[in-house]
A and B are shown apart, each in its own frame.
Chain A
Amino acid sequence: MSENDLGFTPSEMMTIAASRALKNDDVCFVGIGAPSAACNVARLTHAPDITLIYESGTIGTAPDVLPLSIGDGELCETAVTTVAVPEMFRYWLQGGRITIGFLGAAQLDKFGNINTTIIGDYAHPKTRLPGGGGAPEIATSSREVYITMAQSKRGMVEKIDFFTSFGHGEGGDHRKRLGIDTAGPTLLITDLAVWKPDPVTKEFTVVSLHPGVTREKVQATCGWEAIFAEALDETPAPTELELKTLRDLQARTKTAHASAAKGKAAQ
């Protein structure tokens, strides 16, 4: 993705906008990839005391570089404590201690339902994706769910092929009807916009466009008919500090993950 004339890329804007949504006192269950970058930028800028939890059991982790996997050693080395996986899911997630579950998505619909399981039919899939991992219960046991992904017609679809993680189902009070008493997806941050669910229908609505982004561009990269809030904001551009923090983090990450490869080549 190329830098626009504003001096940052859509991907950087996405990560930084996502990082701003996190508060200093949040306890955040972090999905790998884009959520992980956003959570660590938050920790390195306005939310130094945020508790970041990865499903490998690391609680209160503060990695210097972004982990390649959810179980990288640095997560454990910098954590307040590391617990076993059943404890992670039983006491900490099911126990109701997570304020924000931060997820990415392969396929997303307008009600925040996520598919990371299959493309096509479950029994005879066209593409077998990795599956849910921790996400099905992160989506229902975290007090709120934030989702972040780059927009595309392939990713943001009218109908997902499989309900890996339940968002608002068919909308309205569908969560409540299934006995789910947590708020579910309350925020979607893409590379183009910030979306929030309508209070009644629960359909994602664009509430803020990132700098330089038009409604047409949002619609052209979204598989459902996008709804825009009447009072549409412009997302504040990344500050110098936010950009520097993100870029430094990514540079450190790149160097760290390349070093093993170099060592191998030198053998």
Chain B
Amino acid sequence: MVKFLPLKKAVAENLHDGDTVAFEGFTHLIPTAAAHEAIRQSIRELTLIRMTPDLIYDQMIGMGMAKKIVFSYLGNPGVGLLRRVRDAIENGFPRPIEVEEHSHAGMANAYEAGAAGLPCAVFRGYRGAGLATVNPNIKSVSCPFTGEVLAAVPAIRPDVTFIHAQKADRKGNVLVEGIIGIQKEAVLAAKRAVVTVEEVVDNFNDLHPNLTVLPNWTIAAISVVPGGSHPSYTHGYYDRDNSAYLEWDEIAADRDRFQAWMQKNVIESSADDFAARVEHLRKAA
């Protein structure tokens, strides 16, 4: 059953050296605070999975925490490249990193297969795509009814998935709204799930019956971290900090500047610092 825990404890109890871990969020609701806590706890040898690794995987890989990355779009959204990840792939700095690359359709189908308890996903994809020639995890199967050749990829089953969401009720059920991305599938595909939320409310009684709610028994731990997705955004709470994404491009371009930024803003900070970071981005009530 779900436990409400301080983020430090939630990460320590659920993320371990060598784990396969997904910090999911599709531009929206990126679990930055959880990723920063993992960086502070210096967890090593991780296999990082995410459709759209952005700043947080740039940071984790720049800190040498990952041995492998599984992804489908390796960019700073709307800005450009991820410079720390590039340094790892192109120059092996601070350590070499294994790459497993898919398309969005491939990753989305693989997460869905993980949530569905299937060993693999089958879909119409990768036709003529170079990825099928460089990624041995992209194979094909023939439809037993029509003979059509379809792509197959192994299901994604993370040891642990971290997501950020709008709110939990007192029983620990979690509501996710807006661009919901792949978060529900990533939670249901994982052995353990940890959710950071903006706030806790008494109950969800008055909500529309078809909203995306993750029942409390699908979640291992919830931590209340207002602002916890900054510089991403939380629909209904605060806007995306576009300027932070632009600034990151400069910070990450330089190894020393990156280290100094991480020291000040992550190592010497805590989950409690996130609320102030989104104050100027909160919507007028």
Contacts and interface: CB of A to CB of B under 8 A. Distances in A.
Contacts of B82: 130
A89 B131 CA distance: 18
Interface in B32-67: 51-52
A82 B85 CA distance: 31
A133 B103 contact: yes
**Interface magnitude class on chain A:** 35 or more
A178 interface: yes
A129 interface: yes
Contacts of B179: 56-58, 71, 73, 75-76, 82
Interface in B162-213: 178-182, 184-185, 212
A127 interface: yes
Contacts of B180: 57, 82, 84
Given A57-B179, A128-B90, A163 B129 contact: yes
B235 to A, nearest CB: 6
Contacts of B124: 94, 137, 140-141
B31 to A, nearest CB: 15
Nearest to A141: B124
B81 A129 contact: yes
B242 A128 contact: no
Nearest to B80: A130
A65 to B, nearest CB: 11
Interface in B198-246: 212, 233, 235, 239-246
B23 interface: no
Contacts of B111: 86
B94 interface: no
A248 to B, nearest CB: 20
A263 B212 CA distance: 32
A4 B77 CA distance: 32
A192 to B, nearest CB: 24
A128 B81 contact: yes
B242 A132 contact: no
Nearest to B212: A84
A162 interface: yes
B127 A68 contact: no
B173 to A, nearest CB: 18
A46 interface: no
Contact of B104 (A76, A85, A140, A175): A85
Interface string A115-130: 0010000110111111
Contact of B240 (A55, A57, A69, A133): A69
Contact of A68 (B73, B78, B105): B78
A7 interface: no
B131 A132 contact: yes
A6 interface: no
A72 B78 CA distance: 10
A123 B133 CA distance: 12
B129 A164 contact: yes
Contact of A134 (B71, B105, B134, B182): B105
Contacts of A261: 242-243, 246
Given A178-B128, A179-B148, A260-B242, A73 B233 contact: yes
A169 B235 contact: no
Interface in A51-92: 55-58, 67-73, 75-76, 82, 84-86, 88-90
B118 interface: no
A255 interface: no
Given A68-B77, A69-B78, A260 B101 contact: no
A84 B181 contact: yes
Instruction: Name, among B27, B86, B235, B279, the residue most crowded by chain A CB atoms within 10 Å (CB to CB).
Output: B27
B157 interface: no
Interface in B105-121: 105, 108-109, 111-112
B90 A55 contact: no
A82 B211 CA distance: 12
Interface string A98-140: 0000000000000000000100001101111111111111001
Interface string A188-200: 0000000000000
A202 to B, nearest CB: 13
Contact of A89 (B109, B126, B127, B148): B109
Instruction: Name, among A70, A93, A123, the residue most crowded by chain B CB atoms within 10 Å (CB to CB).
Output: A70
A267 B89 CA distance: 37
5 contacts: A69-B240, A132-B129, A140-B125, A164-B130, A260-B241
The 10 closest A-B pairs by CB, nearest first: A71-B27, A166-B128, A130-B75, A69-B77, A261-B243, A68-B78, A263-B280, A133-B73, A163-B130, A86-B108
Interface of A: 32, 55-58, 67-73, 75-76, 82, 84-86, 88-90, 93-94, 117, 122-123, 125-137, 140-141, 162-166, 169, 174-175, 178-180, 257-258, 260-261, 263-264, 266-267
